[in-house]
Amino acid sequence: DGQQLWKVQAEEIGKRELKNVLVHNDELFLAARSGQLKVVDKKTGKVLWATEETLVVSQSPMVKTSQGVLLLFRDGTLRLFGQ
């Protein structure tokens, strides 16, 4: 019906440029250019967990695996973040 159910303020994600978004089941995975990764409950908008990396995220999309989320960084490293 187009009704807004929730919103996440930039301060909750980090005031950085959002680089990648991945939707998996009831979770939104948000990766910022700076390397910050946050997982948000898509029903409530609550941040479930977050990590902070110091490398810049590449343009490549995130990939969800049974073990976690794969994220490629500009220095060529591929990192797996578990849940």
With 0-12 CB in 10 A as exposed, 13-18 as middle and 19+ as buried, what is 38? Answer: buried
Q: Is the whole model's pTM more than 0.95, yes or no?
A: no
Instruction: Determine the pLDDT at residue 18.
Output: 74
Reply yes or no on whether the pLDDT at 49 is more than 60: yes
pLDDT above 90 covers a percentage of the chain that reads 1
Instruction: Determine the pLDDT at residue 12.
Output: 54
Assign 35 a pLDDT band (cuts: 50, 70, 90).
confident
Neighbours of 13 (CB within 10 A): 17
Strands 78-82, 27-32: pairing kind: unpaired
Strand positions, DSSP E, 1-83: 18-24, 27-32, 37-41, 47-51, 63-64, 68-72, 78-82
